[in-house]
Amino acid sequence: MAKLERGSYKGIWVIAEIQNKSIHSVSLELLSKARELKQQNCLHEPVTAVLLGENPDAYTGILSEAGAEAVIIAQHPALEIFQNETYALVLQGLIEERRPAVVLMGATAMGSDLAPTLGAKLQTGVAAHCVDLRLNEKEDLVAVVPAFGGKVLGDILCPECRPQMATVRPGILAKPVCYRKAACKVEQYNPAEALKKDSGRVKAVSFIPEEMKGVSLEEAEVVIAGGFGAASHEMWELVEQLAEVTGGAVGCTRPPLDAGVRQRRTDDWDKW
Amino acid sequence: MSMFVFTEEQQLLRKAVREFVEAEIAPHAKRWDEENHCPIELFPELGRLGMIGTFVPECYGGVGMGYIERVICLEELARHSAGLAITIMAHQLCMGGILLFGSEEQKQKYLPDMATGKKVGALSLTEAIGGSNFMGQQSTGMQQDGKWLLNGRKCFITNAHLADVDLWTVVTGKNARGRSVLTAFLMDKDTQGRMPGRAEHKLGMRSSNTGDISCVNVELDESHILEKEGSGAKIALSTIQEVGRAGMSAICLGILRGCLEESLEFSKERMIYGKPLHKLINIQFSLAENRLDYESARLLTYRAAGMKDAGEPCAGEFALAKYAATEGAIRAAKRTIDLMGGYGVINEYPVGRFLRDALTGSTAGGTSDVLKVVIAAESLK
Amino acid sequence: MELKIAVCIKSVPDPAYYDKITIDAKTKCLTRKGVPSIIGKGDKVALEQALKLKEKYGGKVTVIGMAPPEARFEMKETLAMGADEALLLSDRLFAGADTLATAYTLAQGLKKMGSFDLVLTGTESADGATAQVPAQLGECLSMAHLWNVKQFSLLSDNEIQATVGLEHAVAEYIVCLPAVLGIARDAGKPRYITASGIKAANCKTCKVMGNAELQAEENRLGETGSPTWPGDITIPSMKRQGRVLEGSPDVIVEALTAALRVAGINIQRKAV
């Protein structure tokens, strides 16, 4: 494990994610959180969003509104569909060059795959699926992670390696703040050099969106939840109906799930 | 078996069986009981998993484990469905008879399909006159033109309507002292003249099938005799004493564990006077007694099974085990119902079924009074 | 073709006993007393996939785990399920490993066992659920890796096609072998263990290996080799703001709709 001079690593980065032709809400939540951390701890480096993909230019506005003071864009056809190897190689190159102290991602399907891949390439620590972030008196990142199905919350630190990385679950941090007309430096980064290292072991073939039923849990303003008392098909039907008329999402504790009345939807993998 | 420690293999078996039972048996047990349905359709799967032919040697299609392992499987099954467990137990009586007394040819013919649950067996011993008085049975077997002609009616036979292989005992003569000579016969389901009769509507063990079987001029040749003419009493006694009682002890052990676990869970969850139920001392007494009934039956049962595995005579030990397990299960089920108050008699909870199953189980393989006679006789020897 | 498949197994506290897990107020350590260990369900799903592949193509399934020596029992369970051999990496030096150190140790163990065409893991463990080990193991072994694989098939001797579950979408990838696949929890129900399987397991070997034999770099193992450090742990309060409405159904409905409106939830009348 390479131990590095901590001082040369500065600033907070958020690896933003494009999903369904828009920026994933968790990226915006993370940017606002990063701005908050920066202000609380009087950091100097601009909060930076990094965006990979094909044609990501259109999104700089929304990133800046959520708190990004700088945006780095890596544009390349090879980055059109997410692929852990190519994305991690590009980010590894960037991070080794620019040395951010903190790198954050959403604990989405992409982030949950990319963060550990990048962490291993950089030989640094990644705190997974965090529910909160803060900086301690040494300006070290303290990431709060749930364990044992949320029964326990533990702090995770990464004091001797840089950057300090974390993924954060969508919809858990506060809704993004709106920084109107803030100055934002946009920079293009050419990933071609980094992509040369790609061995081509992983090839993305296609991306097939699934039809969404109802409102997704992390975006919902209203959640109708059922518990033990709703663990029958008749009762669950009522929960669904109520969700429908309130325009809400449905959620449940374990009993309805175990009873099989609430089918685990594909997007449930990261919720508990 | 060192008396108080299960081997790694036995622990793993219990874990594996429990996982299957909790996922595939427990969710249906209540419905099977209500619908009087014996889930015989599960037999091939149970056979494949080794829960039926546990103690049958590998050369006859079994797993090649012993009686302790058999007891483990039955206990785990009966924890959630005693009815299904007794179905397997009765099937094992028939298999046990063939295994202990069958010719090599009979073993090869019947055991592989039975051990894997492809065929179902029954032991037809009891008659209307009573199971304990099996020497007084009235079914007959007479030799005629080089064939045997069987007539009679058996009742309270588990798997009566499901069995593919039926082990019968009949009177084939009298000895010098005028006592009946019994002979055991194996017959297939479709043997001409063999007819299952009424199916019983039972108090408990309702997910098992029990009923009458009649034989009217059933013709069998010598090859259907188990061991030899006159071995019937020995076959009946040893299967009932060492296979049957072992099985019933294991099943009641499962019911006892059900009572213990249900009472613990309920008394932790149920709030009364602002506190969990188990804070009350009388409830603690009930929990302690449930535990004691379970543990004592458990030690007796596994000790007897261990002796059986070691090849030691263990009829007395199994009588002790069965008495402790069945009587303990009845007491514990009643006690658990009392502990639960009104909830105890609501059929959403399984404890009412436990009581009905326990009461029903005490009649199979020797009633408690018969067992006491056996125990006394063993002690007076 | 014969496949050499490795499956990584984690011995975890049985989730059915999570309510028995407590935190020692003084040492801030988790006490797991009386909580039995089991193989995580997700790991069994991965093992099932390996066994199916072996049944189809022939070959060998090797199970590997890193845990205290008691986990030999769980390893034996995998042999009873159908794996051919097992390796348990067990040493005080391995204790306290985060995902990176875990992935490194497992990778060293796998290298000791020979070469593999496929390495399967559960996507996430039942306890920590970081879902980071599959990717990091891939990096440590310099193999291609995918995460949350819902299904996969062999295209040729050295390529597989895999479907990866994302939020509201799936992506198809073609991956060169050897590869590490984190198998999704819903990829297929694991088989039950049979009594014959348990007997057969007696004739299979479960090797227990410490670092004296493994010879991994000590500064990359366990706590020493972990970039992340655990900090404080807490049990979050899960108390809900419960409110029970009483009265006749009409009264309850009235009160409930009023409460929902006050909360800013707009109830749409459904056309009948």
Confirm whether B3 is domain-assigned.
no
B239 lies in the same domain as B362: yes
B112 lies in the same domain as B50: yes
Q: Which of A112, A129, A208 lies at the smallest CB-CB distance from C147?
A: A112
Torsion of CA B91, B92, B96, B102, to 10 degrees: 40
Q: Which of C76, C197, C199 lies at the smallest CB-CB distance from B8?
A: C76
State residue B293's pLDDT score.
98
Which of B92, B119, B146 is the last residue before a domain boundary?
B119
Q: Which of C76, C196, C202 lies at the smallest CB-CB distance from B50?
A: C196
Number of domains into which chain B is organized: 3
Contact B16 C196 (CB under 8 A): no
B245 lies in the same domain as B323: yes
- Rounded Cα distance, B377 and B148, in Å: 36
Helix (H) or strand (E) holding C179: strand C179-183
Residue A1 confidence (pLDDT) above 70 = no
Confirm whether B144 is domain-assigned.
yes
B266 lies in the same domain as B154: no
- Rounded Cα distance, A100 and A98, in Å: 6
| Alpha carbon distances (Å) from A15 to A87, A268, C104 | 10, 23, 25
**Partners of residue B15 in chain C, C-beta under 8 Å:** 77, 193
B247 lies in the same domain as B361: yes
B78 lies in the same domain as B210: no
State residue A267's pLDDT score.
37
Confirm whether B1 is domain-assigned.
no
- Rounded Cα distance, C22 and C25, in Å: 9
Query: What are the residue ranges in chain B where pLDDT is below 50?
Result: 1-2
| Alpha carbon distances (Å) from B73 to B31, B55, B65 | 22, 11, 11
B213 lies in the same domain as B328: no
State residue C28's pLDDT score.
62
State residue A240's pLDDT score.
84
Give the distance from residue A34's alpha carbon to the nearest chain C alpha carbon, in angstroms: 20
Q: What is the CATH number of the domain that holds B375?
A: 1.20.140.10
- Rounded Cα distance, B72 and B67, in Å: 8
Confirm whether B49 is domain-assigned.
yes
Contact A149 C18 (CB under 8 A): yes
B265 lies in the same domain as B364: yes
Residue A266 confidence (pLDDT) above 50 = no
Q: Which of A156, A200, A208 lies at the smallest CB-CB distance from C230?
A: A156
Give the distance from residue C107's alpha carbon to the nearest chain A alpha carbon, in angstroms: 13
Beta-strand ranges (E) seen in chain B are 121-124, 140-144, 147-158, 165-174, 180-188, 194-199, 210-220, 271-272, 275-276
B186 lies in the same domain as B316: no
Q: What are phi and psi of A160, to 5 degrees?
A: -110, -5
Go through B81-115 and write b for each residue having 16 or more CB atoms within 10 A of its CB, e for each that does not. bbbbbbbbbbbbbbbbbbbebbeeebbebbbbbbb
- Rounded Cα distance, B45 and B117, in Å: 7
State residue C1's pLDDT score.
74
Two tokens, residue C155: 């295209």
pLDDT in tens, B144-189: 998 999 999 999 999 999 999 999 999 999 999 989 999 999 999 9
Two tokens, residue A147: 């364990």
What percentage of residues in chain A have a pLDDT greater than 90? 43
Upstream peptide bond of A163 is cis (omega within 30 degrees of 0):
yes
The residue of chain B nearest to residue C77, with distances taken between CA atoms, is: B12
State residue B3's pLDDT score.
60
Which of B59, B90, B119 is the last residue before a domain boundary?
B119
Contact C133 A116 (CB under 8 A): yes
pTM for the full predicted model: 0.87
Q: Tell me if C128 sits within 8 A of C15, measured CB to CB.
A: no
**Partners of residue C123 in chain A, C-beta under 8 Å:** 269
Q: Which of A120, A145, A158 lies at the smallest CB-CB distance from C135?
A: A120
3-state SS assignment for residue A172:
coil
Which of B76, B93, B119 is the last residue before a domain boundary?
B119
Percentages helix, strand, coil for chain B (3-state, rounded to 5) are: 55, 15, 25
Considering chain A, what is the average pLDDT of its residues? 85
B241 lies in the same domain as B359: yes
Two tokens, residue B85: 């467990």
Q: Quick one: angle between helices B245-269 and B315-340, nearest 10? A: 20
Give the distance from residue A251's alpha carbon to the nearest chain C alpha carbon, in angstroms: 15
Structural domain of residue B210, as residue ranges? Answer: 122-232
Confirm whether B2 is domain-assigned.
no
> Any CB–CB contact under 8 A between C267 and chain A?
yes
- For A36-49, what is the mean pLDDT? 90
The residue of chain C nearest to residue B10, with distances taken between CA atoms, is: C198
Go through C152-181 and write b for each residue having 16 or more CB atoms within 10 A of its CB, e for each that does not. bebeeeeebbbbbbbbbbbbebbbbbbbbb
**Partners of residue C189 in chain B, C-beta under 8 Å:** none
B83 lies in the same domain as B131: no
Mean pLDDT per 10-residue interval, chain C, length 272 residues = 92 80 68 82 94 95 94 95 96 91 95 94 80 92 94 92 89 94 92 96 94 94 90 78 85 86 73 50
**Partners of residue B54 in chain C, C-beta under 8 Å:** 195
**Partners of residue C220 in chain A, C-beta under 8 Å:** 1
Q: How many CB atoms lie within 10 A of CB B260?
A: 21
- Rounded Cα distance, B233 and B245, in Å: 16
